[in-house]
Amino acid sequence: MTQNYATEKLSLSPISLDNNRILGPIEIHQKSKFSPLTIVKKTQSQRSLHGTPKQKSILSYIRPSQESQETPPSLTGRPCIACSRVARDQVMAISALTNKKLASYSSSFSSKVTHLIVSVDGRNRIKDHTIKSVSAIAAGIWVLSYGWVRECLARNCLVPEEPYEVLDISGAPGPKLARLNRRTNPLLKDFKVHVLPPFQSATKSDLENILRMLGAKVVDSLEDLLDKENYICLVIGDRRPTEECPVDMFDGVVEVFRVITVDVDWLSRSVGQYTLHGLRPFTLCSEDNIDDLEYPPELLSNNVQISFLPSTSSVPSL
């Protein structure tokens, strides 16, 4: 069943001489030359996984029979909060939450993070696809608006998260779909992927972590894609040509390895909505011969989204 959506990335501790206490977010910031919201050597716009202007966003749900009612990973102790592109006063409110011992704080995304607080627009849609937000959705953790922090402070306790769960940029409930389905139905379980740097909006490691969390088999070299192993093979690249990756290199990849290279935006949009997008609008190679490659027809269609791909029973489990 398909539905359409419109388109559109600290702890304030009292002064103390106790050197053994845990530092809060603001103290971490004060002791570091970088802010918790600062991305090293990259501007804020560079860390966004930008959308492709020609691409429309229409949500295609995973079939009801495939949808899981699995609850998110259980919290062992206090939740660990990270944030992405939130205002400084909101960061200070998160600090107050940590001071009350209701949560801990992480200035970076890692496997210990259980809640990500993001900036949203007036319709509760996340404003940017950032590395943190895409990673959080891929991990299936709570991706929430600041309202959850505010309500926890007002009640002096942790409140249920679901009323504050955000929508994707497109308006699709991607974070919720990922949270409920990632463990039982990983989005990229049928894919074998090579990440081809450089990228202006992410690092190779960032993208490989996202791919692995979604069940993809990540390989180190293009040669590893010669043996398809019944996987759908892809290369993730960046549409901005560089000396390392000139435009004609992507055509060479098709000719030699029989594999399509897609822009990183395909990954961020597919993850954001937890729905596969068709490859064609994101291909970095010539489209002349891609219909002759061994890809599922649904994946090569011009449809902006694909509700599901038939599972291949011979695909090795990851």
Q: Tell me how far apart the alpha carbons of residues 132 and 48 are, in angstroms, rounded to a whole number.
A: 10
Q: What is the pLDDT of residue 26?
A: 52
Q: Tell me how far apart the alpha carbons of residues 227 and 194 are, in angstroms, rounded to a whole number.
A: 13
Q: For 310-317, what is the mean pLDDT? A: 35
Q: What is the pLDDT of residue 201?
A: 81
112-156 residue pLDDT tens: 999 999 999 999 999 999 999 999 999 999 999 999 999 999 999
Q: What is the pLDDT of residue 123?
A: 96
Q: Kindly write down the DSSP assignment for every residue of 36-103, as one continuous string.
A: TTPPTTS-TGGGB-PPPTT-----BPPPGGG---PPPPPPSSS-EEEEES--HHHHHHHHHHHHTTS-
Closest-CA residue to 61 (of 265, 308, 311, 296): 308
Give pTM, 2 decimals: 0.74
Provide φ and ψ at 261, rounded to 5°.
-105, 130
Q: What is the pLDDT of residue 242?
A: 67
More confident residue, 139 or 286: 139
Are the C-beta atoms of 168 and 257 separated by less than 8 Å?
Answer: no
Beta strands 260-263 and 232-237, pairing class? parallel
What are the percentages of helix, strand and coil residues in the chain, rounded to 5? 30, 15, 55
Whole-number average pLDDT of the chain: 79
39-88 residue pLDDT tens: 334 444 435 665 444 433 323 323 333 333 333 433 447 899 999 999 99
State yes or no: pLDDT of 159 exceeds 80.
yes
Q: What is the pLDDT of residue 306?
A: 63
236-260 residue pLDDT tens: 999 876 666 777 889 999 999 999 9
Helix (H) or strand (E) holding 290: none
Other residues' Cβ atoms within 10 Å of the Cβ of residue 300: 17
Confidence label for 232 from pLDDT (cuts 50, 70 and 90): very high
Q: What is the pLDDT of residue 302?
A: 75
Q: For 282-300, what is the mean pLDDT? A: 89
Are the C-beta atoms of 137 and 174 separated by less than 8 Å?
Answer: yes
Question: SS3 sequence, 119-139?
Answer: CECCCCEECCCEHHHHHHHHH
Q: Is 292 left (phi over 0), alpha (psi -120 to 50) or beta?
A: alpha
Domains belonging to the chain, first-starting first, are 25-181 (3.40.50.10190), 191-300 (3.40.50.10190)
Q: For 28-41, what is the mean pLDDT? A: 44
